[in-house]
Amino acid sequence: DIVLTQSPDSLSVSLGERATINCKSSQSVLYSSNNENHLAWYRQKPGQPPKLLIYWASTRESGVPDRFSGSGSETDFTLTISSLQAEDVAVYYCQQYYSTPITFGQGTRLEIK
Amino acid sequence: QVQLVQSGAEVKKPGASVKVSCKAAGYIFTRYAMHWVRQAPGQRLEWMGWINGGNGDTECSQKFQGRVTITSDTSANIAYMELSSLRSEDTAVYYCARELPTGHDAFDIWGQGTMVTVSS
């Protein structure tokens, strides 16, 4: 199974500042047939299901604000929130869909400083 | 409006089975795969399996050692997940999630979740 390890486990950032979350995969999730990284990012607020933010490592889902961006390739990935808003307080998860079992990171809790 | 609506909360005794439903609306059910993911209290998301909405093919995580069965009723646009031989560690919120249409992809629409509590 592919293991995803996120860092940090929790993060405290001031409103308007940048937040960066990392996700490291135990093996490459770059799919040779389409040259895409099979990695996504989700945001989960308390009592709600996860919401897709980024897929193919860097493609923003429709309707997601452009302050969210994803980068990285193969085994190392980053989610960046360029200017933190109050509504971004949540837990963020990375997910690999390169192979089954599909797996998720342990989550990063983002709070306002 | 594209949405997935799941069945209500369940309380089960150890050893029993639970069947959770997920009704799809606002899109063509047979053109998308549906996945099941669970989340135990304070734990990370855990993938359970998926079903091809078109042909009904399924794949389930080996972790569940045959305890999970995923089916669908295409005439009613409903997917089901049944988990048997329940134990306390199965207490969790269970989600259905639609896969993006390109295949081998992320999950763009999620159900609201179904809380399953296993307790004697």
pLDDT-derived band at A94 (thresholds 50, 70, 90) equals very high
Closest CA relative to residue B35, chosen from B45, B25, B49, B16 = B49
pLDDT at A24: 98
Instruction: Output the six-digit token pair for B20.
Output: 């959770």
Q: Chain B interface residues facing chain A, Cβ-Cβ under 8 Å?
A: 35, 44-47, 59, 61-63, 95, 97, 100, 104-108, 110-113
CA B21 to chain CA centroid, Å, is 7
pLDDT at A34 over 90: no
Contact B52, B103 (CB under 8 A): no
Q: CB-CB: which of A52, A55, A106 is closest to B44?
A: A106
pLDDT at B75 over 90: yes
Q: Do the Cβ atoms of B47 and A61 come within 8 Å?
A: no
**Residue A37 in contact with residue A54, Cβ under 8 Å?**
no
Separation in Å, CA of B15 to nearest CA in chain A: 25
| Cβ <8 Å between B44 and A93 | yes
CB–CB contact B113 A49 (8 Å): yes
Q: For A70-106, give one letter per residue: b (16+ CB within 10 A) or e.
A: bebeebebbbebeebeeebebbbbbbbbbebbbbbbb
Average pLDDT, chain A: 97
**CB pair distance less than 8 Å for B106 and A40:** yes
Q: What is the mean pLDDT of chain B?
A: 96
Around Cβ B21, how many Cβ atoms within 10 Å?
19
Give Cα separations from A12 to A9, A28, A95, A108, B61 (angstroms): 11, 29, 22, 11, 35
User: pLDDT tens digits, residue range B17-40?
Assistant: 999 999 999 999 999 999 999 999
Nearest-CA distance from B17 to chain A in Å? 23
pLDDT of residue B101: 86
| pLDDT of A76 above 90 | yes
B38-48 pLDDT tens trace: 999 989 999 99
CB contact set of A111 (below 8 Å; sequence gap of 6+): A10, A11, A12, A13, A89
Q: What residues in chain A have their Cβ under 8 A from chain B's Cβ atoms?
A: 31, 38, 40, 49-52, 55-56, 61, 93, 95, 97, 100-107
Q: Per the CB < 8 Å rule, is B105 touching A55?
A: yes
Q: Which of A97, A101, A107 sits opposite B63 (nearest CB)?
A: A101
Given a cut of 90, whether residue A49 has pLDDT beyond it is yes
CA atoms within 13 A on the CB side of B21: 9
Strand partners, B101: none
For residue B44, the distance in angstroms to the closest alpha carbon of chain A comes to 5
Q: Is the pLDDT of residue B81 over 90?
A: yes
The radius of gyration computed from the CA coordinates of chain B, to the nearest angstrom, equals 14
Residues in B touching A106 (Cβ below 8 Å): 44
**Residues A16-25: tens digit of each pLDDT:** 999 999 999 9
